[in-house]
Structure 1
């Protein structure tokens, strides 16, 4: 049993653990009770007092401060978006790229990261894909041979959704700094699961949604933009993104300068209920500690890999602790296994290489053992069926 934190207490905050074997945090995490309570409080306020907007706006800034602290950033480096995809598109369109410049990416990374940059081909920007196997992780050496004088951006996921590789972003960040290349990172699968320090990673822009490791419902995203990158310009503007928004709400064509901080990339009203809930979620995560969460899900992965070896089931992604974290893809045919897991109250996801199992802070070693027992039982059923067929 892992004893990094009070797992029993944490599991009690996730009622779903009493109803099913939830192994799908890379898709979305189930709602924790404190997050539900925060959303309920927001709804009560709106229902009973028609929305105390000044209070809600102050909470936005509290959430911004909480996110900044979570990432070792300053509040002025944090903007709120709708989701990861919007954040990546904001980054792609903000870059000072011209025809002939190129962007480096990993082939097979999340398609919404790729599309954000591929959309710039209409402006003459080239997107180059670097090949990488499912058991390989990217580091500086992965990209260095592909950089030339026109390479302006490297963009990749910190942890991949399809095989669970944990790329060495800090090493890539050092390469980018030495070459004068922007580094844009999708941390959707790592935020809330791994400790993230934007200074240590050396990222220029970081994007994420909140519905996975950050335990908050869909519809809210986080965008980090490194202070001092004033050359990154918003593709669209609104009053909220201006340095001097007009108090009388009359547009001033002669004063459209954007804000200097990351707020220049924000548009209009915020997702107030999610931002209220996000602060509650971060408080819950901080109680456990992201470093502890990392060690916890790695221990679950150790147990899973041990079971897989005994069962003769291959792991699609990397095995090393330094190259994985909470996502494990089992080489099992989706058509045969997804229905079986669903029938046995197991929540998982079909993925390119098979069945994706992804752990959250609420999962236990007993959960892993239960999954292994189900796989073993299915193997026995298959063996019995094959034996009967041979007799017939």
Structure 2
């Protein structure tokens, strides 16, 4: 349990209507009837009193993994806690603590600049530190749970502070206990364990064949390669609205994988520790002819079929109509169900 000193600012929160259009990377027009900004952890317990008055709570970080409706239902709490520090260090590892409102990529860059390896494969993932455990973010062979040391969160139901270890977070592929129970816990800080016996993780083909990663690359070289690959393949949300990878890579049994591989030469899949396979959702979507296609103001990105984009003026309903059309075609051809990665936020009833 975390204890706050009397000197820590705990100013009262004043909910006000707000425009969320600038606070989601999909660039969807969205408003909320009540918003607050969390500047200090001591303000978080107030959310337990406020949220029920508005019919729920949405904690908003960078807005990079959300599909927002035109009108959000409930209270929106924008996370603005800042700070990064080296919490502890021993012969084997460093433990770095970052506040929930810090930029995730900013944290990765902070560590790389100091020569602390371990997070470089997760460079350029948009969003905040507090949102990273919710989704158990991952890229290029590394997931957050691989570097996780713990986190601090406030339980709005039991009205108490809690410390979570990895087992309590129930991390899975793009999943966690926080994603399964949205609105219950508010994460305020995250701790990551960075091993001193660092070795590069170069399992993915894009990294194995990268010219700058031959020999014995350091964390900075891996970081720069990952940044370059992502910039080449993925659209910049500041230029073209998107939420990154829209679909999870589906997990299937070894038998299903073998059956599909016999029918569809070139099927892309990765063996998993449990004996199953993770299929490349982007390949499935591309093979169904969706890459580069548009449906009105939304479409599938021309260079990365996993990414749905907003060409301007799109609504959540239009995004989800495109997602449903893509899912239908993949299921019809391959018998595989695609699951959306972003959180689809429920909308409020239309006003009279």
What TM-score does the superposition give when structure 2 sets the normalisation length?
A: 0.29
Higher RCO (C-alpha under 8 Å, 6+ residues apart): 1
Q: Which structure shows the bigger proportion of residues in strand conformation?
A: 2
What TM-score does the superposition give when structure 1 sets the normalisation length?
A: 0.27
Q: Which has the larger radius of gyration?
A: 1
Q: Which structure shows the bigger proportion of residues in helix conformation?
A: 1
